Every structure is written in structure tokens, then in C-alpha cells.
Structure 1
Amino acid sequence: MLLISCPWCGPRDETEYHYGGQAHVAYPHSPADLDDRQWAEYVFYRDNTKGPFAERWMHSTGCRRWFNVLRDTVTNEVLAAYRIGEPRPEPQQAAAHAAAQAVAHAGGER
């Protein structure tokens, strides 16, 4: 099970969240100008990255806010959680931050 840290509520079990797909997918600037192929690409096609991947999550049983999570798809490790509108953290920085949070969280449970 994942431990995801909501930017507003703190670390919670993944069962409190709802997955929302790939993060940082920009809405088309001129939607009326898109043909069927372009709409299909926007609606259905997403990256299938091996390694760090930015996802959207919603804290459905908590604050009910959407935010982004950087998760490693190989190890399933949550590297960072950040608010929508904030830039995606670099994987190296995110991994160091996640390790520090895990140590802090483990120390608080003892």
C-alpha cells in the first residue's frame, strides 16, 4: 500500500485518495480547431513512463483537493507530492525529499 502525503493534510494511506491520471496535461488552446484524431490524442493518449511519473490524485476522504504526485512506476515509491500549479520536482530532489519524509514519519510513529 502507498503512503501519500497530501500537501494540506499530511501523510495518509492510499485508500483515502482517488487516482486522476497523468498530471500536467494541458487543455487545448483552441478546442474548436481540433480534428477527431487530435481530440483522441488529448482524451485517450497518455505517457507510459518507466520510472518517475507525474500523476494527479484527490484526497477524497480528507480535504477533497486535487494535487500532483511524482511516483516511480518501477518501485511504486512516492517521490513527492505537490500542489497543482507548482512545478514538477526533479526526480533526484524528490527522492531525497521522500527519504527525509519517510525517516521523519517513521520517527513519529515510535
Structure 2
Amino acid sequence: MIIDHPLLGPRDAAEFVYKGDASLIDRPDGLAASADEMHDYVYLRDNPAGEHRELWYHEQGDRSWLVVTRNTLTHEIIRVELARGVARERGRSR
């Protein structure tokens, strides 16, 4: 699988480490969150069939974090974004 890194161009997926669901970017405020909110954040994950947003870490490269939108049935990569940009956009929309 080839991941088209936004800064470095096409890279083999072997350079990256899959880190899970991209919803992990939306971490609840640890001091204000209830125990149930923190439990759900830490332990509950979706396992969708189809389009899904995932966190990938470029371990053997520039050590950037990416949000990869991928079809879990076909492995087709639909979009690749820098995670810091996604996090900033979410912060502005709140």
C-alpha cells in the first residue's frame, strides 16, 4: 500500500505505523470529563466496513502524524492529511 504523504510524496506503508482511529484526536478534557466519557474514549472503538479515518505515524521518515481516510474493504486511500492540521480545524469548529 502506498501512502501519499502531503509533504514527502508517495511512500510505502512499511515506513508508517498504524495508530488507530482518528477520533482519538478528539480527546476529552481530562479534568472536566466524566468517568464514562474517559472510559468511552480509552476503550470503545468503531470497526467500520468502508470509509474510515485512521491515525498513521511516519516512524521511518519525518516522524509526522497523518490522518489517512481509507476504505477498509478495498484498502483504497481516499485522502491523506497532516494530523496537526486536522486537530487545528477541529479546535476552530468547537
TM (normalized to structure 2)?
A: 0.79
Which residue number in structure 1 is paired with residue 92 of structure 2?
Answer: none
Q: Spell out the pairing of 1:63-74 with structure 2 (5 A cutoff).
A: 63-74=62-73
- Checking the alignment, whether the CA contact within 8 Å between 1:6 and 1:59 is kept in structure 2 is no
User: Which protein shows a greater Rg?
Assistant: 1
Distance (Å, rounded) in 2 between the aligned partners of 1:44 and 1:8: 32
Structure 1 distance, partners of 2:81, 2:37, is: 29
Give the corresponding residue for 1:12.
11
Match for 2:65: what amino acid? W
Q: Say whether 1:34 aligns with 2:31.
A: no
The separation in 1 between residues aligned to 2:77 and 2:61, in whole angstroms, is 19
Secondary structure, aligned partner of 1:69: strand
Describe the superposition over 1:28-63 as per-residue Cα deviations: whole angstroms up to 9, x where unpaired: 13x23422x432211111111111100011111111
> How much is the aligned-residue C-alpha RMSD, in angstroms?
1.5
Q: Which residues of structure 1 form unaligned runs of 5+?
A: 88-110
- Tell me, in whole angstroms, the C-alpha distance in 1 between the residues paired with 2:72 and 2:55: 14
Contact 1:20 1:58 in 2 (8 A): yes
Distance 2:8 2:78 in 1: 17
1:6 Cα deviation from its structure 2 partner: 1.3
Q: What is the match of residue 55 of structure 1?
A: 54
Unaligned 5+ residue runs, structure 2?
Answer: 90-94
**Contact between 2:2 and 2:11, CA under 8 Å: does it hold in 1?**
yes
- Equivalent pair of 2:64/2:82 in contact (CA under 8 Å): no
**Normalised TM-score (structure 1):** 0.68
